[in-house]
Structure 1
Amino acid sequence: MRRAQFLMAGALVTGALVALLPAAAVAQEGGEEADLQPVSVCCAQEIVVIGGALPRKDISGQEVVLDRDRLRTTASGRVEDALRDVAGLQQFRRSDARSAHPTSQGMTLRGLGGNAASRTVVLLDGVPVTDPFGGWVNWPSISAQRLGSVRVTRGGSGLTGGPGGVAGSIELFSENDPGDHPAFAGGLAYGSRNSVSADGLVSAILGSGSAMLAAGYERSDGFYPTPRHQRGKADQRAPYEQANLLARGVIDLDDATRLQAVLSGFYDARNRGTAYSDSRSAGADASVRLVHEGRLPWSAMLYGQLRQMRSGFASVSADRNSVNPTLDQYRVPATGWGGAFEIRPLKALTLGADGRFTSGASRERYSFVAGAPTRLRKAGGRAGTVGAYAALRQDVGDKVTLQASARLDHWRLSGGILEEQFFGGPSLTDNHFPRRSGWEPSASGAVRLRLTEGLTLRGAAYSNWRLPTLNELYRPYRVGTDAIAANPALDPERVRGVEAGLELAPERGIRLSATLYANRLNGAIANVSLAEGPGNFPGVGFVAAGGTYKQRRNLDAISSRGAELDASLALGSRWSLGAAYAYTDASVRASGASAPLDRLRPAQVPKHSGALRLGFKGENVDAMLAARYIGAQFEDDQNRIRLAPALTLDAMVGAKISERFRVELRGENLGNRTVEATRSRTGIIERALPRTLWLGLRYAVE
C-alpha cells in the first residue's frame, strides 16, 4: 500500500511537470524564477545560496542554511559542531573529530540508522569529500573560516549531486568572491588542556582572476574519554593534532567563462585514550572546474582524491589496569576520482551527467598473541558509478512552482578481495569476489504553493539509492570482544519517501518551517547479531565468551516517520533567535536471520533532538548562546545498551578592540555534562568533549 501511494504521488507530480515542458520553453523570454528562501537556523536574514557548478534553487526537500556568521561563531570553530544545530542531523557517534575514531563519522538524517558510512551526499563546492574506501567524512580537512555557507537538504530528493543521498545532502560552499575575503586574516586561540588553534588566509585579485591560500592547525593534550569513576591505569588522555591547507585560483577566460583550480591537503592524528589506539589520516584533493554563464550555461568539473590511514585498536582488561593490542590497521590507501558535466538549454531545464570511481584496501596485522601479531589481512576492491539526470522546474503563474527530476545510474563492483595468512606463513583465506553490476533509476517530484505573501505549502515524493562502500563489502573487523564479518553480496540501499510542509513568514524577521515526512530505506545495511561466543564463526574466526558474532546484512527496511521544525526570529536590529527540533519515529523491519531485530529502534537514532540559539550583533561586540539536546538512543541493534540523553550549552563573546583586532572568549559544554558517545556491555562509558574554554585573538587587513 505504501509503495502504491508513493508511486501514485510521484506519478501525479512528474506527469504534471512533463505536461508543462512546452510551456517551460515558451517562458524563457519572460518571467523570473521565484525567490525561494530556505530557513536559516542562525538568524532572521534572508539567504540565497549560490554554489556547485551553476546557481540552482531546489524546492524538492526541506533546506536549512548555516551562513558565514553562524559557521564562524560556533564555540568550537569546527564545521561538524556547527552542523549540530540542524535537528535530526547526526554523526554515527556523538563525539566530534577531536576524539572520535575517524571511521565513526558518517553523516545521516531522518533516523535512517547508525552507520559508519554516510547516508548523505557531502559535497564541498560540488566535489565529494567522503572517504573513497569507507564513506566517512574527514572533518579536519575542512576549515569553517574559509566557508561561506552550508546548505543541508533533508530527504533523499537531491538527485543532481550524484547517488548516495538516501537521507539527504550536505553542501559546503567556499567564499568564491574575492571581495568576501580580506587581504590577510588570521586567528590564534588557546584553550583548556593546552589546546592551541591557529588559522590564516591570504587572498589577492590578480588581473582577471584571484588567488587564495589558507591554512589551519589545531592540537591539544586531550581529555580522558573514560569518566573518573571508571578509570584504571590503562586510561590516558586522548590528544590530537590536525592541520589543513588549501590553495585556490580563479581566472576569467572571457566575459562569461571562468576557470577554477583547487588543491588541498590535510593531516589528522588522534588517540582514543589508551595505548595502541592511535590513528593517523592524511589526504590530498584536487579539482578543476570550468563554468560558462552565457546564453547557454554549462559547467564541467574533474576531481581526484588521495587518502591514507593507519589505526590501532586495543582491548582493555575488566579492571582497566592493562591493555593489549588487538588490531594494527597499518595501511589503508584509497583513491577516488570523477567528474561531472551540466548544461541548461532552457532556464527551467537542467541536464547533466556524472561519474565517481573509488578503490582502496585495508592492510592489517591481527590476532595478537603476547603483544605480537600472528596474522595478516588485506581486504578491498573497486567501485564505480556513472549516471545521467534531468531536472525541470517551472512556475505556473505567480502562485505555483513545480519541479521534477530523474536520473539513471549504472554501478559496478570489481577487484574484491579478502586475503588472510599467518604472519610469515601459509595462506588462510584467498577470496576473490566476482564482479557485480546493475542499473538504478531514481526520481523526485515536488510542488510549492504560495497561498499568501507569508505562507507557502510544499510537498514532495522521491526515491534514491546508495551503493555499499568497499569497507562494508569486503572488510571484517572487531570491536572489543565482538567480531563483524564482511558481506560481498550486499545489495544497494534504496529509499522511498514523501513529505509535506509549510513555510510561514508573516513579516520580515520571522520565519517558521514545519515538515512531516515518511521514509522507507529498503535493504538498509546494518551489523546484524547472529550468535554469541565462545565459538568459531565464518569470516571472523574465534569469538570469545562475552562476545557477539555479527555480519553486515541488508535488513528488509528501516521505516522512519517524523516531524521537523525550524524557526528564526529577529528581536530588533541586534538580537536574533533560532530554534530547531526533530521528532523521529524509526523502526527496523527484519525477517529471517535478522528477525530478532524486527520492530526495534535502529542503533544510534534518538527520538528527540533540538537546538536553540540566541545571538547578539552590535557595532563592536557580538555574542552567542547555544543549547543543544539529543535524546536517549541505543548503542546496539538489539536495544540492550542505552545512551543517556544529553543537554549541552555553548557560548561565545567577541569584541572588536581596534580596526584590525578582535578578541574572543568561547566556551563548549559549559555545564560539563557527561555526553555518552559509547557504552560497553559492562557499562564502561566513552564520553564526548567535557567543558572547554578558549581565549582567542583575530586579525584582519582589508
Structure 2
Amino acid sequence: MAATPGGGKTVAKGQDLRGFLRIGVAVTALGAGAASAEPSSPPSDIVVLGAPLARPESDRAYDSVVIDRARLTGDASGRIEDVLGDVAGLQQFRRSDSRSANPSAQGLTLRALGGNASSRTLVLLDGVPITDPFFGYVPFNALSAERLSEIRVTRGGGSGAFGAGALSGTVELISAGRDALPPLAANASYGSFGSVQVAATAAPDVGAGYIAVSGRYDRSDGFYTTPESQRVAATARARYRDWSTSIRAVAPIDELTELQASASVLRDDRTLRFKGADSSTDGQDASVRLIHRGSWAVDAIAYLQTRNFTNKVISATTFRMTLNQRDTPATGLGGKIELRPPVGDAHLLRIGGDVRRASGELFEDGYNATTGALTLRRNAGGNQTTAGLFVEDEWKLGDLVVTGGGRVDRWSIADGFLRERNPAGVLTTNAAYADRDGTRATGRAGARWQVAGPLAIRAAAYTGFRLPTPNELYRPFVVVPITTQANADLKLERLRGAEAGIDLTPLPGVSLSATAFTNRLEDAIANVTIATNVRRRQNVDAIVAKGIEASAALRHGPFSLTASYAFNASRVHASGNAAQLDGFIPAQSPRNAANATFAWAPAKGPSLSATVRRIGKQYEDDLQTDILPAVTTVDGVASLPVGHGLTLVARAENVFDVNVITRNAGGSIDYGTPRTLWIGVRLGG
C-alpha cells in the first residue's frame, strides 16, 4: 500500500476495496518535514481513496511550494499561519498570528502586493474557497494541522481551474486521509500564559470507506501586546479561546467513483489591547464532492458557508466603548465541476465551470467616547456573485511540457445599502447603491523544459481579477486611533504578471529553485489617508511588484535543511487625490523575507528542529510615516518517544524573546508573540 500526497487509501486498479481494508494502514514516519519545490503525483495505476484527481504535471510550470504533513504538525506554535511563513513572501496583513490579531486582518497576500486585510490570495480547502464571505479573511483558528496532509502554495496570479480571485497566488490545503492518520491520534500541550492546546482525531473504517472526526481546543490568558511604557489600567492581555470540530466521510460508489462529504463548526473569542475590546467569530461549513477517475474524469463540488463576526472598539483615551459591531451575518455558497475528457496520452484537458455567491450585512452601534451615550445605529451590506467557465490544456512534448488556458467570468455587485439611525430611531442616512455587473476574461500559460537530468527551466504569464469584498465596499472600521471609511464605488482589481525560473537537483537529496517575476496590479485597493487619523478605501492606479524568490532543500539521512528567500521591489503608482502615494512602497510590504528550518529526525528516537525567520522593515501606513522594524525570530521543537505510541514534545516560540512590532500608529505600539514555552504529549501520528 502506498502513502499518497492527498491522503486516503490506495488500491491498485481492479483490487477489491473491501479486501483492501484487511491490509492495514501504512505508518508514516513523523520526521522534520520540509517545503519542497517539486510536486509529486501518485503512479497512474493507483486509485487514491479520499484524494482529489491527480495533479497535472504542468503545475510545475508555475512557482509552487509544497509543505508536507510532518512540517505542518512540527511547528513550534501549532498554528497553520505560522507554518505558511516557511514560504518567503507569503504574509498576513499584519505580523501577528491568529492569537493576537483581529480576525478581520487575517488576509493573505504574496509578492508584496500590499493590501488592506482582504486576501489577494485564493485559499482552498479540498477545492472549496474558505475566505470569509463578507470580510475576505482566512479563518485560521478553524484550520488544524492534524487534519491536513499537505499545503501547496502557488505564487503568481491566474486562477485557471481554481476559481476567480487568485491575484497573488493560490494556497491549496488538502485534508489527510487514513494513510496519514492512525485510527486514533491526540495531543495536548500546556504553555506560557496559562495556554492550553488539545486536539484529537478518530479515523475508523466504515464499510468500504472511512470517517475522520476531529476536534481542537485552544485557550490562553494571553500576553500583553502593549509595551509596558504604554500600559494603563484598562490595558488587557490578548486572551483567546477557540474551538473547532469537523467530520469528513469518504465512501466509494464503485472502483472509480467516490463521494467525499465534510462539515465543520468553529467558535473563536479574543480580547485585544483593552478590557472589553472583545471579538468573536462563529462559523459552519459543509461541502460534498464527487470524484470519478474513469476515462472521463469528473470533479464536482458544492458547498455552503455561514459566518458571524462581532467586535467591540474601545477608546484609547477614555477607555469606553465607541463602537459595537454586534452582528455581521454572512453566507457563501457555490460549486464547481471539472471534466477531463480522454484526448490522448500527450494531453490533459480540463474544462468546466464554477460559481460563488457571497452576501452579508453588518449591524453596529456607535457610542460617545466621553459619555458612553448611544449616537447611531448602522446597518449596511450587499452581495456579489461570480460565475465562470474555464478550459486548460497540458501538452507533453518529450522533455517539454506546455500548458495554457483561460476563463470567462460574469460578475455582479448588487443590493448594496447603508442605513443609519439616530438614538431615537429616526432614519438619518438611507443610501441604496447602484447594482453593477460585467464580464471579465483572464488566462494563464506556462512551460517547463527538463533541459538535462538535474536542470529544468520554466516560464509563465497570467492575468487575474478580484472583486472588492462587502467589507471593503460597505463597512467602516476603527483600529484605535485610526478610522478607515468604506467605499461603495470601488472598482475591480486587475493583475498582469509574468515569471521565469529554474529548478536544479545537482545531487540526490539536494534541490534548488529560483524565480524572477514582475506583476502589475491595476486599480489596487488601498487604505488612503485623507485626514488626520482618517483613511478611506480607494483604488490607486497600480501597484507594480518585481522581485526574486529562491528556495533550497538538503536532505541527508536524518538531517534536513530547508530555506527560502524573497526579495520584493514593489511601488505604488498613484494620481488624483492619492497622488501623495506615488512611488511609495505599499503598506505592510517588506522588501526582504527569509527563513530556514534545520531538523534532525531519525526514523526512531528523539528529534530536534529549529526555525529562523527574518522579516524586513515595512511601513504600517500608506504615507510611510510609521515603521515596523526588521525582526528575526527563532523557534525550536524537540520530541522524545517514551513508548506505547506516546511522545513527549517540547516547543519554544521566539526563543530570544525579541519584540516583534505588529502595529505602529503614530507611536502607539502593539507587539506580537513573546517567548512562549510549551510542554506536551502526543499519542499516535
Do both proteins adopt the same fold according to a TM-score greater than 0.5, normalized to the shorter chain?
yes
Q: Which amino acid aligns with 2:172?
A: E
**Structure 1, 53-62 or 98-107: larger mean CA deviation:** 53-62
Aligned to 1:503: 503
Aligned to 1:149: 150
Q: In the aligned structure 2, how far is the partner of 1:52 from the partner of 1:210?
A: 13
SS at 2:577 equivalent: helix
Q: 1:52 to 1:588 in 2, by over 3 A?
A: farther
SS at 2:225 equivalent: coil
Aligned to 2:115: 114
Name stretches of at least 5 consecutive residues in structure 1 with no aligned partner: 1-39, 533-546
Which of 329, 336, 345 in structure 1 is aligned with 2:332?
336
Contact residue 517 and residue 547 of structure 2 kept, 8 A: yes
Q: Percent identity?
A: 40
Is residue 579 from structure 1 mapped to residue 563 from structure 2 by the alignment?
yes
Aligned to 1:168: 169
Q: In the aligned structure 2, how far is the partner of 1:49 from the partner of 1:231?
A: 53
Where in structure 2 are the equivalents of 1:22-421 lying within 5 Å?
42=34, 48=40, 53-57=52-56, 58-176=59-177, 178-317=178-317, 322-345=318-341, 346=343, 347-368=347-368, 370-397=371-398, 399-421=399-421
Q: Which amino acid aligns with 1:324?
A: R
Q: 1:404 to 1:47 in 2, by over 3 A?
A: closer
Contact residue 41 and residue 64 of structure 1 kept, 8 A: no
Q: 1:472 to 1:296 in 2, by over 3 A?
A: same
SS at 1:518 equivalent: strand
Which of 589, 595, 607 in structure 2 is aligned with 1:622?
607
Is residue 668 from structure 1 mapped to residue 653 from structure 2 by the alignment?
yes
Q: Which amino acid aligns with 1:468?
A: P
SS at 2:368 equivalent: strand
Q: Give the superposition deviation at 1:60.
A: 4.1
Q: Which amino acid aligns with 1:690?
A: P
SS at 1:59 equivalent: helix
Aligned to 1:565: 550
Contact residue 557 and residue 589 of structure 1 kept, 8 A: yes
Q: Give the superposition deviation at 1:121.
A: 0.3
Q: In the aligned structure 2, how far is the partner of 1:653 from the partner of 1:45?
A: 26
Q: Which amino acid aligns with 1:602?
A: P
**Structure 1, 687-696 or 52-61: larger mean CA deviation:** 52-61
Where in structure 2 are the equivalents of 1:460-609 lying within 5 Å?
460-532=460-532, 547-548=533-534, 550-570=535-555, 572-609=556-593
> Could you list the per-position Cα deviations for residues 284-330 of structure 1 after superposition, in whole angstroms to 9, with x for gaps in the alignment?
0000111100111112110000101111111212xxxx512111000
Q: In the aligned structure 2, how far is the partner of 1:366 from the partner of 1:55?
A: 52
Q: In the aligned structure 2, how far is the partner of 1:129 from the partner of 1:563?
A: 29
> Could you list the per-position Cα deviations for residues 54-79 of structure 1 after superposition, in whole angstroms to 9, with x for gaps in the alignment?
22231342001100000010001111
**Structure 1, 48-57 or 149-158: larger mean CA deviation:** 48-57
Aligned to 1:678: 663
Q: In the aligned structure 1, how far is the partner of 2:374 from the partner of 2:107?
A: 29
Q: Give the superposition deviation at 1:160.
A: 1.4
> Could you list the per-position Cα deviations for residues 214-270 of structure 1 after superposition, in whole angstroms to 9, with x for gaps in the alignment?
000010000000112222222121110010100111111111110111010111000
> Could you list the per-position Cα deviations for residues 470-502 of structure 1 after superposition, in whole angstroms to 9, with x for gaps in the alignment?
011112223324332221111110000010000
Contact residue 63 and residue 154 of structure 1 kept, 8 A: yes
Q: In the aligned structure 1, how far is the partner of 2:282 from the partner of 2:554?
A: 41
Q: In the aligned structure 2, how far is the partner of 1:77 from the partner of 1:492?
A: 36
Q: 1:500 to 1:47 in 2, by over 3 A?
A: closer
> Could you list the per-position Cα deviations for residues 655-676 of structure 1 after superposition, in whole angstroms to 9, with x for gaps in the alignment?
1110310000000000101000
Contact residue 278 and residue 312 of structure 2 kept, 8 A: yes
> Could you list the per-position Cα deviations for residues 357-377 of structure 1 after superposition, in whole angstroms to 9, with x for gaps in the alignment?
011011100142512322100
TM value normalised by structure 1: 0.89
Contact residue 526 and residue 538 of structure 2 kept, 8 A: yes
Q: In the aligned structure 1, how far is the partner of 2:437 from the partner of 2:591?
A: 37
Aligned to 1:447: 447
> Could you list the per-position Cα deviations for residues 23-47 of structure 1 after superposition, in whole angstroms to 9, with x for gaps in the alignment?
xxxxxxxxxxxxxxxxx98267965
Name stretches of at least 5 consecutive residues in structure 2 with no aligned partner: 1-31, 43-49
Q: In the aligned structure 2, how far is the partner of 1:638 from the partner of 1:173?
A: 39
Q: In the aligned structure 2, how far is the partner of 1:225 from the partner of 1:74?
A: 22
Q: Which amino acid aligns with 2:186?
A: G
Aligned to 2:15: none
Aligned to 2:8: none
Contact residue 580 and residue 610 of structure 1 kept, 8 A: yes
Aligned to 2:597: 613
SS at 1:462 equivalent: strand
Aligned to 2:626: 641
Q: In the aligned structure 1, how far is the partner of 2:226 from the partner of 2:36?
A: 40
Contact residue 35 and residue 66 of structure 2 kept, 8 A: no
Contact residue 39 and residue 60 of structure 2 kept, 8 A: no
Q: In the aligned structure 1, how far is the partner of 2:102 from the partner of 2:290?
A: 36
Q: 1:209 to 1:414 in 2, by over 3 A?
A: same
Q: Which amino acid aligns with 2:426?
A: P
Q: In the aligned structure 2, how far is the partner of 1:657 from the partner of 1:688?
A: 34
Aligned to 2:437: 437
Q: In the aligned structure 1, how far is the partner of 2:201 from the partner of 2:590?
A: 39
Q: Which amino acid aligns with 1:647?
A: T
Q: Which amino acid aligns with 1:692?
A: T
Contact residue 36 and residue 67 of structure 2 kept, 8 A: no
SS at 1:523 equivalent: strand
> Could you list the per-position Cα deviations for residues 90-112 of structure 1 after superposition, in whole angstroms to 9, with x for gaps in the alignment?
00010000010000000000010
Q: In the aligned structure 2, how far is the partner of 1:357 from the partner of 1:373?
A: 34
Is residue 691 from structure 1 mapped to residue 675 from structure 2 by the alignment?
yes
SS at 1:316 equivalent: coil
Aligned to 2:24: none
**Number of equivalences:** 639
Q: In the aligned structure 2, how far is the partner of 1:469 from the partner of 1:229?
A: 38
**Structure 1, 204-213 or 328-337: larger mean CA deviation:** 204-213
TM value normalised by structure 2: 0.91
SS at 1:113 equivalent: coil
Contact residue 186 and residue 199 of structure 2 kept, 8 A: yes
Contact residue 519 and residue 561 of structure 1 kept, 8 A: yes
Contact residue 584 and residue 624 of structure 2 kept, 8 A: yes
Q: In the aligned structure 2, how far is the partner of 1:282 from the partner of 1:45?
A: 36
SS at 2:70 equivalent: helix
